[in-house]
Structure 1
Amino acid sequence: MSGTVTPMMAQFLEIKADHPDALLFYRMGDFYELFFDDAVVAAGALDITLTKRGKHLGEDIAMCGVPHHAAEGYFLTLIRKGHRVAVCEQLESPAEAKKRGYKAVVKRGVTRVVTPGTLTEDSLLDARRHNFLAAYANVRGAGALAWVDISTGAFSVLMCDEAKLGPELARLSPKEVLISEASEGDFTTIIADAGAAVTVLGNAAFDSTNGEKRLNSLYSVKSLEGFGTFERAEVAAMAAVVEYLDITQKGKLPLLRPPMREKREAAMQIDASTRKSLELTHGMNGGRAGSLLSVIDKTQTAGGARLLERRLSSPSRDLSEINARQDAVAFCLEKGDVAALLEDKLREVPDLDRALSRLSLERGGPRDMTAIRSAISQARLIADALPMDMPEALAKAAQDLIGQEPLLELLDDALIAEPPLLSRDGGFIATGYDAELDEFRALRDEGRSVIAALQSRYAEQTEISGLKVKHNNVLGYFVEVTATHSAKMLAAPLSETFIHRQTTANQVRFTTVELSELETRILNAGGRCLEIEKRHYSRLSASIIDQAPNLFVLARALSEFDLNAALARLAREEGWTRPSMTSEREFLITGGRHPVVEAALKPSGTQFVANDCNLSEESIWLLTGPNMAGKSTYLRQNALVAVLAQIGAFVPAKSATIGVVSQIFSRVGASDDLSKGQSTFMVEMVETAAILNQADDRALVILDEIGRGTATYDGLSIAWATLEHLHDVNRCRALFATHYHEMTSLSDKLDTVANATVTVKEWDGDVIFLHEVKRGTADRSYGVQVARLAGLPAKVVARAKVVLEALEKGEREGKQKAVIDDLPLFNATPAPAPQKTAPSEVEARLKDILPDDLSPKEALDLIYELRGLVKTSE
């Protein structure tokens, strides 16, 4: 190879061979260069110029590059397009390389592999959302899911069989999921459906026996029992996560908190389609806009926002925990001055978790240290201002706000107020912290004044007023006197201090040991400053990381206060109320509203119509009414009230009494899934089957238009049987919207089924939606009227009315098929258009009226005149 490639290219190829599945960013000075196929792929993905550099085996070598200081943005673009990036840095300076030989190549090596689940930089992450890396393991038929956010250190694990993997991934929204070679074909589709990248590791990475040793080593313990009792599958999943981090971070493992073992029964279960339907954390477009989270997030800190998203993704089923959370929100709502102070102080709190993580991975800088200092300082101020009589959850969090005073004092003393971004830039250690550093800074920044002071002292010592300290490139710094004073300088005792260097025609030059040392120190002062600051940076980093467990606790406490203050502010501004939570099956909501729809209506000044829902006695409501009347909004708003109640928030209602909901299932709206070859009706049936097979008696089910994707009688029969199953087998609480009015008779046959309808009013052939839900049934669907509102041609609407009247008449008389056969549905002759009639006297008179020009008296006179014309026409 050495005969066909340059030493540098040989080095590139050797490193690339170890990372065949990643784009290799090869550091060359101020740029990262890519070569061969990597360059072709990257140039296309990044829309940058593709060039060439030399030849390899007779072919041009493709090349492209990006500036190293702007590389993070390019990393993010490539990752979003499904690529991985191996970052290859220079491990020595060119000067160090030359010591091994003039043509020696600078040592290089991959320092990290950038993947979707291993990002830590602020510029690559959404500060208000977690960035999870997950791993799924299966050991002897038992499955487990582990996940970590290396930017915050959060590490969790959960027993999870294959059937539950999809819903759990939907809850977590991980960016990358690890699976073993043995299970590659089994879970790839499930992971892809969750929108995560799939990474396959060797089976050895999931070995539970070696994995336990790996985890023990990570946490410096002899056993994991101190963290909980973990099944073999859980250990395997956690071990795979740690192994992958070791691979991608090249041995620099992030600070991981002790693993938390979650239990499925502790949280409300929400499947993937329900999350999408309710738009809990993501809107229909996949982003944050339009989601429930976007409306209720009033948090001041990134940590508080992430905590809110975690709770919204996983509402609690623990009644005592729910009540404790509501107590904390109620306290902040009642103590408005305390909540205002909290919000004011929390605005100054930086992202402590992520600053700590970057420092542990040696990707941080002085600003991360000052972020930690600021967080500790604000926490101290908050703790000092809190009252003594707080609910249990806040009182515990308050205790965790204090205890970091020694670290705060250290960082206060050592760091300036606003340091540079990078430690290599220097200038972040405060003046007065290190006397040696101050001295070198003085030499670096005030060299001339130091030399001037020395010159003044030498002039006084020798009693030669014309003595000068000068500098040139040959001698460096030297003392110069005129020839007339040379004899004095060369004689004792001055000759013992001043050493002769050079004699010219008119001057004699000397040096001193002190001057030589000072010269060396001045020349090296800049480098010495950086060395000293680097030493302090390492020491400060170590001091911070030593306190990492306590800092994680502090960060969690700050997030807890932030979230409760935010939920209190939400309740105060929106007029939300505290729900009463019970262990029974009650579900009584008075004046409930849809929070997202209400927020969307606010700018226009439109008032949202509130509605009641009572599933406490009759646990299933069969809801009828026309399209566009608000049935889907009503269904969703009641589900969202239950979710909000169980995260500990107040709810958009006048009052609410809710028995803890174990599961929420929503089948509202559907579309084709072309990737799986499933029609809308098939998707609907799959989702309905999942509900009927899984819902328990504490579940809340909302269903809309079951059976609409097939023939009328097929759809009716499916909807009928589904409702009976919910009543007889699942025995759950449910809202069931339908257009099959025939089903309303089920309320007479099934004990806990009640009819409800969304009211409308018809006026001059138009339908007016009142959006009010009341007990009873709809008289008809008003489909033709809605079609007219949608803008169907008048001719089509008129024809539809004729067909509808004929069909309804045939149905009443039992002759529907005969009527259909008699209808000329495909008659080429169009129905006659309505004949235009001459305008009436009233219409003719109104045509000439300009309402804005009428006075009140003229308007009243006009009404009498029009009334007279009506009588005349009669």
Structure 2
Amino acid sequence: MTHSDASPLIRQYREIKRGYPDSVLFFRVGDFYEMFDEDAREASRLLSIALTSRDKSSTDPVPLCGIPYHASQGYIAKLLKAGRTVALCEQVEDPKSAKGLVRREVVRLYTPGTLVDTEFLSPSESNFLTAICRSSRSAADGHFLWGLAGLDVSTGEFWVMEFGGIAGTAQMLDELVRVEPREVLYPESAQSILSFVTDLRGIKVCPQPATKFNAEHASITLQTHFQVHSLDGFGCQGLTVALGSAGAVWQYFRETQPTASFDHVRRVQRRWNHDAMHLDQATIRNLELVRPLNGDQPGVERGKTVLSVLDRTVTSMGGRLLRDWLLRPLLDREAIQRRLDAVAELKNAVPQRVAIRTILRSVQDIARLSSRMTLRAAGPRECIALKESLSTLPELRAQLETFNSSLLTTLRDQWDDCRDISTLIEDAIHPEAPLVLRDGNIIREGYHGAVDDLRKTRVEGKEWIAALEARERNRTGIDSLKIRYNQVFGYYIEITKANLQKVPPDYSRKQTLVNAERFMTHELSELERRVTGSEAQLASLEEELFGQVRDRIAREVSRLQSMSGLLATVDVLTGLAEAAALGRYVQPTVDNSDVIAIVDGRHPVVESLNHEQMFVANDTRLDGNDNRLLILTGPNMAGKSTYLRQVALIVLLAQIGSFVPATEARIGLADRVFTRVGASDNLAGGQSTFMVEMTESAHILNSATNRSLILLDEIGRGTSTYDGLSIAWAIAEYIHDQHYLGARTLFATHYHEMTQLESLRDGIKNYRVAVREQDGDVVFLRKIMPGGADRSYGIHVAKLAGLPGPVITRAQEVLTRLEQPDSSSESTTTPLQHDDRRTLPQPHSVIDEVRQIDLFSMTPLDALNRLAELQKRVTQPQ
């Protein structure tokens, strides 16, 4: 069907659809949202609903599918999950008063980064829309300047950041990993930016016209919104590309929510990269802070994370704040101490802590509720939820009166009971108000006289109709006569076919049914006009009054947002105190020294997973002098990686203000925590395991300082033995050397040769994971002991892993042969066939000589001469 042949409705649909080619258009027709053409085909497939057609008699019928408008949220959620966006097109005039075709407009565009509906949002995670852009290369240092902006529409949180210098790109990507935005905007003219964000899973990437990233225009727009003459008061002085990104976010928000208010966005905050510890992607991933390492593997149950073990919050606001704290550990000792003191007080005050947590359980998500008020998306039930949440504030403040720590005192001094807001809702909104406005009975009795009068009229009108029904039965003698109502015909008198001969002449026929007929009288018509008129007036007035109440609440959004932040902080602090009490955590001493001293430290996640066995605790001593670099050896599965991770986690937990899983802990502040633990290919990026390992190692060496904590596990294992050992040795020396880094480091390795470093360099210590051999098997004791391991126990580990018996036996034979110093001698325990010995790898005679060379006592010239001599011997014909 051509456009000119289409019906007026279809032409209107297609005209609106042209403005939203990439979205599924939900087109309101009466009580349904309908989709046509290709949208109908796609929606039918994705939503599993019937595909039919409009104008079936036509030679070219229009594909059609539809859903009830009151059930739209579930269908929208499915489309969003499938990666689509939805344009909601509503009837913006009353069909009864419309002349011709009802006017329709798109009132909202549903995209992953602009959601405010509770059904679509994770309660304990933020929902950020972000934008990134970059400048051309700087003439000063030759590097890009990156701008990043984020807006959580559901809470009004709005921030900007800029990154420059050699590490700018990596820092910007690390921030995106921490934020986990649902949607990322970028200039369509800068397609190369896509290469930086394609590895970020679950994020919708949206190109936008480059004009939307204009910093000057963004500055004017934001100044107008915030009613200020300059953004310098928000810390934005000197920003360029960050403001461009902010402008893109703002414009996208306005375009997708054309009817929404922006009043809940009260400020734009400048985030500095040095405000908190910068955790890179590898560290967040390796330490499983918020996502388990196996979480993205199909068929694998999602495991626990540090966040899931630590999270004892009872409000959505607290859950989001705890996640933010965990990914942004503090660097300021005084701020850390304020949190620790508050947690200590709450941990010791058990009755008050229990009382606070009990009260908080009845507090709803005030941050998102207040935002929905300003967006005019909140319904009557949400007003009741807000009132019930605010009603807890006086009792919570009374509980905080008993505490003396600096942070809790500050929270109490900033407290606002918001009594006027809760009183307004209490007076205006019916306590059993419905979920949606159309169901009526919203305004409380006594709040507005006109509402009460109309309700009285409605009640009396129904009584009048009941009295009329009784009179008509008496007048006609028809005992089965009934006055009924439906939305199509309104009120009518229904009489069965058997009684039609008794119908009075003043009855006018309205409808004929199979077994009955429906009639109308002049008196019933008048009553209907009065009753239905009062109901329509009542519905309209209640909706108007509710809008006024909602707008009055919206004007107090800044107060509600402030209290949301205070409540979230109280929730996190009490949650940390609860976690400390349940997990037997202790308060760490945090100072500005270079000492990390942990007594009986434990891994919080591993400990929580293994309830049947007692976790083996271990001590740790790191500092900038004698214990600068600890080399840890031992077999696989013995617990080296767990030990490395637990040290890092104890440091991180201490610096977010949490108690730590240990008997005692002293934490000298770390400016960064780096981890190179585990290995994986980056197939999408074309990088092997070894390349990923070297890239991450290079990042650590180029970014760490002497205040950093570095954890390295099995560096060099992705290449040949001698290459790997050489690289691992050189990296260890570089980190240890105070002229380069001098950073506190735990270095786990299978290269036993590296234990020689302890005797060659001051500040390097050897430790091993204790094992015990028992009846030919190995028992992992999980205890970290001084000294280096003398064996790898690889075959024992292979046996535990389930390799077939013949493989284990043969491996032992090969190992025994290789370990014999004289290759010509016969093994008395595992005799090999002559052919076997010939095919086994034989050590070259030069290797033993190389092992005996004391590199650190030779001059460079001696080393070159010695190398030339060895090379000549290796290459000359045998």
Instruction: Report the TM-score range of the alignment, normalised by the length of the smaller protein.
Output: 0.7 to 0.9
* Shift, 1:662, TM fit: 1.1
| Equivalent residue, structure 2, for 1:297 | 311
| 1:802 aligns to 2:809 (yes or no) | no
For residue 218 of structure 1, the aligned residue among 207, 218, 225 is 225
Contact conserved, 1:284 with 1:290, CA < 8 A, in 2? no
What are the within-5 Å matches in structure 2 for residues 235-384 of structure 1? 235-254=243-262, 255-286=264-295, 289-384=303-398
Q: Is the 8 A contact 1:567 1:649 kept in 2?
A: yes
1:852-871 correspondence runs (5 A): none
Partner of residue 748, structure 2: 737
Work out whether residues 667 and 688 of structure 1, in 8 Å CA contact, stay in contact via their aligned partners in 2.
Answer: yes
Who is 1:134 aligned against? 130
Please state if 1:113 is matched with 2:122. Answer: no
One-letter identity of the residue aligned with 1:640:
L
Cα distance in 2 for partners of 1:622, 1:60 equals: 75
Partners of 2:655 and 2:823 in 1: how far apart? Answer: 49
Residue 780 of structure 2: SS of its match in structure 1? strand
Q: Is structure 2 residue 209 aligned with structure 1 residue 202?
A: yes
> What is residue 71 of structure 1 aligned with on the other side?
72
User: C-alpha separation between the residues in 1 aligned to 2:328 and 2:822?
Assistant: 49
With over 3 angstroms needed to count, the CA separation of the structure-2 counterparts of 1:376 and 1:783, relative to structure 1, is same
Aligned pair in 2 of structure 1 residues 24, 471: CA closer, same or farther (>3 Å)?
Answer: closer
* Equivalent residue number for residue 824 of structure 1: 836
Q: Decide whether aligned partners of structure 1 residues 69 and 192 sit closer, same or farther in structure 2, where only a CA change above 3 A counts.
A: farther
Q: 2:771 aligns with which of 754, 760, 777?
A: 760
Deviation per residue, 1:741-768 (Å, 9 max, x gap): 0000011112221111111000111000
Larger Rg over CA atoms? 1
CA contact (8 A) 2:390 2:417 kept: no
**Paired position in structure 2 for 1:592:** 601
Letter of the 2:65 counterpart: C
Residue aligning to 2:175: 168
- 1:246–1:253: 8 Å Cα contact kept in structure 2? no
Corresponding residue for residue 421 of structure 2: 407
Q: Which residue of 1 aligns with 2:632?
A: 623
Aligned AA for 2:779?
A: I
One of 424, 430, 453 as aligned partner of 1:439: 453
Say whether the 8 Å CA contact 1:299–1:563 is kept in structure 2. Answer: yes
Distance 1:290 1:252 in 2: 39
Contact 2:371 2:557 in 1 (8 A): no
Instruction: Give identity over the alignment, percent.
Output: 40
Counterpart of 2:392 in 1: which secondary structure? helix
RMSD: 3.1
What amino acid maps onto 1:768 in structure 2? V
2: CA distance, partners of 1:379 / 1:770: 51
Q: Which of 571, 587, 590 is matched with 2:580 structurally?
A: 571
1 CA distance for matches of 2:822 and 2:451? 97
Provide closer, same or farther for how the CA distance between residues 814 and 665 of structure 1 changes in structure 2, counting only shifts above 3 A.
farther
Residues 15, 810 of structure 1: alpha-carbon distance in 2 compared, 3 angstrom cutoff: farther
- Give structure 2 stretches of 5+ with no counterpart: 137-143, 297-301, 469-481, 493-505, 507-521, 841-878
Q: Distance in 1 between matches of 2:545 and 2:781?
A: 70
User: What is the deviation of 1:196?
Assistant: 1.7
Corresponding residue number in structure 1 for 2:151: 148
| CA shift in 2, pair 1:600/1:578, >3 Å | same
**Residue 23 (structure 1) aligns with:** 24
User: 707, 712, 717: which is aligned to 1:703?
Assistant: 712
Q: Which amino acid aligns with 1:132?
A: F
Residues of 2 paired with 1:367 and 1:472: CA distance? 31
Q: Which residue does 1:122 correspond to in 2?
A: 118
Structure 1 residue 681 corresponds to structure 2 residue 697: no
Match of 1:95 in 2: 96
Checking the alignment, whether the CA contact within 8 Å between 2:380 and 2:437 is kept in structure 1 is yes
Q: Does 1:542 align with 2:551?
A: yes
Please state if 1:638 is matched with 2:652: no
- Alpha-carbon contact 1:245-1:253 (below 8 Å) kept: no
Count the aligned residue pairs: 772
Residues 793 and 423 of structure 1, relative CA distance in 2, 3 Å threshold: same
CA contact (8 A) 2:34 2:64 kept: yes
Aligned letter for 2:332? D
CA-to-partner distance for each residue in 1:442-493, whole Å, 9 max, x for gaps? 2223435579999xxxxxxxxxxxxxxx99999x99xxxxxxxxxxxxxxxx
Residue 619 to residue 696, structure 1, CA distance change in 2 (3 Å) = same
- Shift in Å at residue 531 of structure 1? 1.6
| Distance change >3 Å, CA 631–CA 521, structure 1 → 2 | same
Q: Residues of 2 paired with 1:825 and 1:175: CA distance?
A: 61
Deviations 1:603-640 (A, max 9, x none): xx211111111112412111100111011111111111
In 1: Cα distance, 2:195 partner to 2:109 partner: 22
Counterpart pick for 1:648 among 647, 657, 662: 657
1-structure distance, mates of 2:833, 2:601: 48
Change over 3 Å in CA distance of 1:56–1:92 after alignment to 2: farther
2:49 is the counterpart of 1:41: no
Between the aligned partners of 2:392 and 2:72, the Cα distance in structure 1 is 33
Inter-CA distance 573–389: structure 2 relative to 1 (3 Å threshold): closer
Deviations 1:161-182 (A, max 9, x none): 3232211111111111111123
- Aligned counterparts of 2:447 and 2:233: Cα–Cα separation in 1: 41
Q: Which stretch of structure 1 is more off in the superposition, 540-549 or 678-687?
A: 678-687
Using the alignment, how far apart are the partners of 2:444 and 2:677 within structure 1?
A: 61
Classify the secondary structure of the residue corresponding to 1:674. coil
Kept in 1, the 8 Å contact 2:135–2:146? The answer is: yes
Q: AA paired with 1:553?
A: S
1:157 to 131, 151, 160: 160
In structure 1, distance between residues paired with 2:219 and 2:825:
74
- State the distance in 1 between where 2:798 and 2:53 align: 62
1:538-572 CA-to-partner distances (Å, cap 9, x unmatched) read 11111111100011001111111111111101101
CA contact (8 A) 2:400 2:408 kept: no
Q: 1:673 to 1:691 in 2, by over 3 A?
A: same
Between stretches 338-347 and 366-375, larger displacement belongs to 366-375
Q: Which residue of 2 aligns with 1:749?
A: 760
Deviation at 1:57, TM superposition (A): 11
What TM-score comes out, normalization by structure 1 length?
Answer: 0.84
Q: What's 2:12 paired with?
A: 11
Q: In 2, Cα distance between the equivalents of 1:623 and 1:8?
A: 74
**Deviation of the 1:431 alpha carbon:** 1.4
Q: Partners in 2 of 1:442 and 1:544 — Cα distance?
A: 29
Contact 1:169 1:191 in 2 (8 A): no
CA gap of 1:827–1:755, structure 2 versus 1, over 3 A, is closer
Between structures 1 and 2, the one with greater helix share: 1
Contact 1:46 1:78 (8 Å CA) reproduced = yes
Specify the alignment match of 2:788 in structure 1. Answer: 777
- Closer/same/farther in 2, CA of residues 444 and 228 from structure 1, 3 Å limit: same
Q: Which amino acid aligns with 2:151?
A: V
Quick one: structure 1 residues 194 and 165, their matched pair in 2 at CA, closer, same or farther if it must change by over 3 Å? farther
8 Å contact kept, 2:374–2:557: no
Aligned 8 A contact 2:771 2:778 in 1: yes
Whole-Å Cα distance in 2 between the matches of residues 625 and 635 of structure 1? 13
Who is 1:393 aligned against? 407
Partner SS, residue 94 of structure 1: coil
4+ residue segments displaced more than 6 Å: 55-58, 450-454, 470-474, 515-519, 811-816, 819-823, 825-828
